[in-house]
Amino acid sequence: MRQTIVRNVAELPTYGYGPRSGPWWGAMGFMALEGMGFAIAIGAYLYLYAVNPNWPIGAAPPDLWPGTAEVAVYLLSIIPNEITNRAAHRQDLAKVRVGLIVMAVIGTALLVLRGFEFAHLNTRWDNSAYGSIVWLILGLHTTHLATDVGDTIVLAVLMFTRHAKPRRFSDVTDNVFYWNFVVLAWLPLYVLLDWVPRL
Amino acid sequence: MSIAAEPREIRDDVLNGLQLSTQLERVWRTPSGWTGALTSVDHKVVGRRYIVTAFAFLLLGGILAILMRVQLAGPEKTFLSADKYNQIFTMHGSTMMFLFAVPVMEAFAVYLVPLMVGTRNIAFPRLNAFSYWMFLFGGCFLWISFALNVGPDVGWFAYVPLSSLQYTPTKRPDVWAQMITFTEVAALAVAVEIIVTVFKLRAPGMTLDRIPLFVWAMLITAFLVMFAMPSVMVASTSLILDRLVNTRFYDSSSGGHPLLWQHLFWFFGHPEVYIIFIPGTGMVSAILATFARRPVVGYPVVILSLIATGFLSFGLWVHHMFVTGLPQLGAGLFTASSMLIAVPSGLQIFCWLATLWDGRPVYRTPLLFVIGFIVIFVLGGLSGVMVASVPIDTQVHDTYFVVAHFHYVLIGGAVFPLIGAVYYWFPKITGRMLSESLGRWNFWLAFIGFNVAFFPMHILGLIGMPRRVYTYTANMDWAHLNLLSSGGALVFALSFALLLVNVIYSLRKGELAGDNPWSASTLEWATSSPPPPQNFDRIPVVKHRDPLWADSMSLPVVAGLSAERREVLLTSLAEAEPQIREASPEPSIWPLLTAIATTVFFIGSIFTPWAVLWGTPPMAVALIGWFWPTGSREDEE
């Protein structure tokens, strides 16, 4: 087939931010399917809650302080996360490095807090269906948290190497974006795990 | 660091003709030999592998079906033992659903969608390679387990309490549950790739209302996968946790509930039917337009019907549970929604009939399979409306009537369009035509064999033959119909043997196809057959819904992409306006290594929960290797 050139795209940029870029949509896709996973797990929790006359089953509700402390840290973490985001958009390497280190430290602190939360659930996974679903949901969110912290650490290291090129700033903004999802996912789970058993 | 500082690279606007083709082929080709085979990220290579592997599983699943039909051909046969029969019907269902039907549809999407939207590779090509390896390893895991007599034997739905440790204290259900995890990871990865490919990699000018119907169908399917599959992953994970670390999800003595399993399974399981069927409709629309020699009537109606089907498919899972003692209101609601979904499916059928009516149909093999599809699928749809009604469902539940119904829907709705699609796109994929005369034999054997095999099952079900029995006694009067059905199954199997012969013969001796042997209208036919590694020498510009019919002589294109490294053009979501020239990944061994690490993790965790601990670091290392920049130019801008 004969080709007729009707347009030249040579002047277009080679990377972009947000909905212009491909990886951003990939992150959206994974958030949607992981969000669906959370929704299904919440549905399973509420189903078991509905069919059991006593809830929680044979256990006290989880101690409130670890989950509540996490909520506070998560919400506050949005600030350095957003600062990192803006620095990445400005391609300010020094600030991005600091931002990623701060976020990695916050993430690690949350993993430690998460350890306390497991210890203060007041039930084991094999005690009852209540214990099982609580451990499953917390485990699911912990996997997300750990994955994102791992990703943040790797990205932080990367930004100290010769690979810290302009297109990596787009990766940083995607990492920031995903962290917001981890925070957002935690809020309903906190209400579900820590407050529904107190109803 | 800045782009301007680098020497100006060669772009596709300064090269022409053979020079451009050769240069792009050098950049985009998969290396030869083992390295190339293990590292390829070309969507065509991965797609071909996916298709061949899925058909290999179809062959295996089909052999199991024949074994079952031999066993059931007469009363009290001892060809298969009860235990073997249980394994075989479970393996047949699991293989057909998880290793054939869903993967083969995604495989066609992996191969065709990038070509049809006019780009050079799928979005996230390494994820695509990873997805294939996961699918392959999961399928091999299931079949090797079966060969070692550890094949699952609890049905493709693995209902608790039968699949609980108490009633099945072997590893068999664990194998089933973990195979689910493998295939769902693979399917979810492809779903994300397809969505991003359709959203961001469309050729300039391919606005939402110029997207080919097949691509629309695959996009909607990808969304269904994304929202349905997490449910079965939660289900299979909780089942395996119950069996391995004593959680109590399904243990009614500790607050668990067996029906939770059915809800989780069917919340996935019903959309699954549409995950298989909707791609079939996309194939039908593509084939019909080409062979009726006119665009499908009611393009927006077909798309809106597909979207409506997608939404409704999430609202009818409970009709699989009508005999579990539901509240009447719930049963009524799900009956209504189950009948409602017949409306958008019906609308599409009318659009297709109108297309044939108004067109100038050319009855080649692909169109024959589409017509077979319409007949069989309508019959399956009618029995579907019957079983949507609670009183009828209560009578025929767990009988062969249901077996007849879903084979009419799935084979009619998906396999017939699929075989039509094989005849239709084989020339594009291989460069050679399949034999038309063998194709006609193939169709008639399939059509007659299928109906002789499955129609009698309606009657068998109505006179009371239950599903999943390994034999029956002579005084039940089921023998003649069963023998007839087994005979039909053999004829149906023969049609697939003929397809295989046709493929092998035509690969060597088939007539050369040329770029566009069917004079079709979509972009995959604008490039050579088989397409070169770069798909298109220059990215097409779309000005019409049927670009090759609007102008069959010349193709408007964009220029300005790199001819020195892999680059694709990202466009905006709705209007497909060019936005970014984005780098596309080079071949890499890391997706394979990641898949191997994940396989060790998944299989290890069946035997010890500690595999979750020692299995994680290798996965993490492999993922870091995958994402760490290689220092090549596209990584460093």
HEC sequence for B202-229? CCCCCCHHHCCHHHHHHHHHHHHHHHHH
B590 touches chain A (CB under 8 A): no
Average the pLDDT over each of A48-57, A129-138, B6-15, B573-582 and give the range with the smallest value: B6-15
- For residues B208-226, average pLDDT: 98
For residue B369, the model assigns a pLDDT of 98
The answer to whether A14 contacts B559, with C-beta atoms less than 8 Å apart, is no
Place of tokens 């930004």: A159
Q: Read off the pLDDT band of B16 (50, 70, 90).
A: confident
**SS3 at position A2:** strand
Q: What angle do CA B230, B235, B238 make, to 5 degrees?
A: 120
**Confidence at residue B636, expressed as pLDDT on a 0 to 100 scale:** 60
Report d(CA A156, CA A80) in Å as an integer. Answer: 14
DSSP-based three-state secondary structure for B349:
helix
**What is the separation of C-alpha B107 from the centre of its chain, rounded to a whole number of angstroms?**
6
CB contact, 8 Å: B165 with chain A? no
pTM for the whole thing?
0.96
Give the list of residues 6+ apart from residue B318 with CB closer than 8 angstroms, or none. Answer: B263, B266, B326, B330, B331, B334
What residues of A are in contact with residue B199 (Cβ under 8 Å)? 25
Whole-number Cα distances in Å, B327 to B267, B332, B389, B590: 18, 9, 15, 52
Shortest alpha-carbon distance between residue B495 and chain A (Å): 37
- Residue A50 contacts B where some CB pair is shorter than 8 Å: no
Q: Which tokens go with B16? A: 């022409």
| Side-chain half-sphere exposure of B306, counting CA atoms within 13 A | 29
Chain A CB contacts of B515 under 8 Å are: 1
pLDDT in tens, B332-352: 888 898 889 989 999 999 999
Contact A3 B629 (CB under 8 A): no
Instruction: Closest CB to A7: pick one of B196, B558, B637.
Output: B558
Query: Each residue of B59-94: pLDDT tens digit?
Result: 999 999 999 999 999 999 999 999 999 999 999 999
CB-CB contact of B412 with B323 (8 Å): no
- Residue pair B600/B614 in contact (Cβ under 8 Å)? The answer is no
Q: Which helix (H) or strand (E) holds B612?
A: helix B611-614
Nearest to A12 among B555, B557, B581 (CB): B581
Q: pLDDT digits over B557-588, tens only?
A: 999 999 999 999 999 999 999 999 999 999 99
Return the pLDDT at B7.
Answer: 59
Q: What DSSP line would sit under B290-326, residue for residue?
A: HHHTSPPS-HHHHHHHHHHHHHHGGG-GGGGGGGG--
Residues of A within 8 A of B201 (CB-CB) are: 22
Q: Does B4 score more than 80 pLDDT?
A: no
Quote the crossing angle between the two packed helices B102-116 and B416-430, to the nearest 10°: 40
| CA distances to A29, A127, A169, B111 from B374, in Å | 34, 53, 52, 25
Q: Do the Cβ atoms of B10 and B563 come closer than 8 Å? A: yes
Residues B570, B579: contact at Cβ < 8 Å? yes
The shortest C-alpha distance from B191 to chain A (Å) reads 9
Strand, helix or coil for residue B116: helix
Whether residue B325 lies within 8 A of chain A, CB to CB, comes out as no
Distance of CA B355 to the CA centre of its chain: 26
Is the minimum CB–CB distance between B549 and chain A shorter than 8 Å? no
Parallel/antiparallel/unpaired status of strands B567-571 and B578-583:
antiparallel
State yes or no: cis peptide before A56, omega within 30 of 0: yes
Return the HEC string of A149-196: HHHHHHHHHHCCCCCCCHHHHHHHHHHHHHHHHHHHHHHHHHHHHHHH
Residues of B in contact with A170 (CB under 8 A): none
Average pLDDT over residues B171-200: 96
- Asked if the C-beta of B410 comes within 8 angstroms of chain A's C-beta atoms, the answer is no
B427 with B365: CB under 8 angstroms?
no
What is the C-alpha to C-alpha distance for residues B17 and B20, in angstroms, rounded to an integer?
Answer: 5
- pLDDT, position B1: 37
Q: In chain A, whose CA is at the least distance from the CA of B557?
A: A5
Q: How far is CA A66 from its chain centroid?
A: 18
Which strand (E) or helix (H) includes residue B558? Answer: strand B554-559
Give the tens place of pLDDT for each residue, B284-333. Answer: 999 999 999 999 999 999 999 999 999 999 998 988 999 888 888 888 88
Number of neighbours of residue B229 by Cβ within 10 angstroms:
25
Alpha-carbon distance B325 to A23, whole Å? 47
CB-CB neighbors (< 8 A) of B553 in chain A: 1-2
Asked if A199 has any chain B CB less than 8 Å from its own CB, the reply is no
Q: Which residue of B has its CA nearest to A16?
A: B580
Determine how β-strand B554-559 pairs with β-strand A2-8.
parallel
Lowest model confidence (mean pLDDT) among B275-284, B334-343, B469-478, B497-506: B334-343
Is residue B316 within 8 Å of B338, Cβ to Cβ? yes
Q: What is the separation of C-alpha B185 from the centre of its chain, rounded to a whole number of angstroms?
A: 14
Q: CA B416 → CA A82, B145, B248, B277, distances in Å?
A: 52, 30, 43, 11
By C-alpha distance, which of B298, B420, B442, B282 is closest to B357?
B298
Closest residue on chain A to B122 (Cα): A22
Alpha-helix runs per DSSP H in B510-540 = none
Which residues of chain B neighbour A14 with C-beta distances below 8 Å? 3, 567, 580-583, 637
Cα dihedral A171, A175, A178, A180 sign: negative
Whole-number mean pLDDT of chain B?
95
By CB atoms closer than 10 A (0-12, 13-18, 19+), residue B252 is middle
What is the share, in percent, of chain B residues with pLDDT greater than 70? 98
Cβ neighbours of B175 (radius 10 Å) = 22
Contact yes or no for A20 and B570 at CB 8 A: yes
Q: What is the pLDDT of residues B33-51, one digit of tens each?
A: 999 999 999 999 999 999 9
How far apart CA B270 and CA B258 sit, in angstroms, is 18
Q: Look at residue B497 and give its three-state secondary structure.
A: helix
In which region does residue B468 sit, left (phi positive, over 0), alpha (psi from -120 to 50) or beta (all else)? Answer: left
Q: Which structure tokens are listed for B519?
A: 């004079």
Query: What pLDDT shows up at residue B6?
Result: 53
Is A6 within 8 Å of B191 when comparing Cβ atoms?
no
Could B581 and A32 be called an inter-chain contact, meaning their C-beta atoms sit closer than 8 Å? no
Taking alpha carbons only, the member of B265, B273, B277 closest to residue B237 is: B265
Mean pLDDT over residues B116-139, rounded?
97
CA end-to-end span of chain A: 70
Return mean pLDDT, chain A. Answer: 95
DSSP-H helix ranges across chain A: 22-51, 64-89, 93-119, 129-158, 166-190
Q: What is the mean pLDDT of residues B146-174?
A: 95
Instruction: Nearest chain A residue to B558 by CA: give it.
Output: A7
Q: How confident is the model at residue B216 (pLDDT cuts 50, 70, 90)?
A: very high
- Give the gap in angstroms from C-alpha B440 to the nearest C-alpha of chain A: 32
